[in-house]
Amino acid sequence: MSAHWYQTFFHGIALDLWRKAMTPETTRAEVDFLASDLAVPRGAHLLDVPCGNGRHAIEFAERGWRVTGVDLAAESIDEARAEAGRRGVAVEFIHADMRKLPAGPFDGAYCAAVAGALRKGARFVLDTGHAAESLLLNLKAEASYEFGGIKMEIRNEYDPLESVLHTEFVFTRDGVADRRQAEARLYTVGEMGRMLRRAGFRRVAAYSSLDREPYRLGAPRLLLVSELSH
């Protein structure tokens, strides 16, 4: 598998399925959570990375925040810009690798580690289902899902010596199958916390849901809230 699989994975049917899976109600609930835990007033400048098709960024902009979204998928950025224009909000969307972020400084961020782009005291929310304590206890060799007429079949193989999950995806629509490969290195919650501390963050909270239930072993979702301390 190419080490840069992510450069070509996020286009076409994979994005179509994600659009159908993420409802407006889901987006509003996630933005409610983020708006509270980022703890910055309306008008503050937020960084969304990777922003996908801008569903969070546009919702934040409609509520009065300034937002910059960054994503590697050109298709997603084009869609985000078009939707922001349709809804009449100003959002800066940048087509770029998330490892090369705009300078900032930003008042808050969500989705990726961005210490160099944040001001001191700014909060960062990491939302992931790939914490080792979440994924490994629930990992299935095969799984199948369907959203809006698109079927997604998943085949997983975990390499414990490298802590890497290799996944084959098969997307099928109207009888036509599209196969794609992906891989993800897994980290424990403790390892994530230590990486954040080395980057200058202090942990504020770790939740397993938007209802702010404390994170527990085996929870399928981790919402890790931290604050840049220096």
Q: What is the pLDDT of residue 113?
A: 63
The CA distance from 149 to 169, in Å, is 16
Could you give the 3-state DSSP secondary structure of residue 219? coil
Phi/psi zone of residue 101: left (φ > 0), alpha (ψ -120 to 50 degrees), beta? beta
The pLDDT tens digits of the residues spanning 17-66 come to 999 999 999 999 999 999 999 999 999 999 999 999 999 999 999 999 99
171, 149 Cβ separation under 8 angstroms: no
Q: What is the DSSP string of 68-117?
A: EEEES-HHHHHHHHHHHHHHT---EEEES-TTS-----EEEEESS--GGG
Pairing verdict, β 222-228 and 201-207? antiparallel
Q: What is the pLDDT of residues 189-201, one digit of tens each?
A: 999 999 999 999 9
pLDDT in tens, 200-218: 999 999 999 999 999 999 9
Which structural domains are found in the chain, ordered by start?
6-127+188-228 (3.40.50.150), 133-185 (2.20.130)
Alpha-carbon distance 46 to 118, whole Å?
9
H/E segment holding residue 28: helix 24-38
Burial 83-114 (b: 16+ CB within 10 A, else e): bbeeeebebbbebeebeebeebebbbbbbbbb
Cβ neighbours of residue 225 closer than 8 Å, sequence gap 6 or more: 37, 123, 124, 125, 126, 203, 204, 205, 206, 207
Q: What tokens appear for 17 in the block?
A: 């399925």
Examine the pLDDT at 1 and tell me if it is beyond 70: no
Q: DSSP letters along 161-195, please?
A: TTTEEEEEEEEEETTEEEEEEEEEE-B-HHHHHHH
Give 44's contacts (C-beta < 8 A, 6+ positions apart). 65, 66, 107, 108
Q: What is the pLDDT of residues 65-117, one digit of tens each?
A: 999 999 999 999 999 999 999 999 999 999 999 888 887 799 999 877 688 88
DSSP state of 208: S
pTM for the whole thing?
0.89
pLDDT range class, residue 8, cuts 50, 70, 90: confident
* Residue entry with tokens 């981790």: 222
3-state secondary structure of 156: strand
Closest C-alpha to 165, from 142, 135, 137, 188: 135
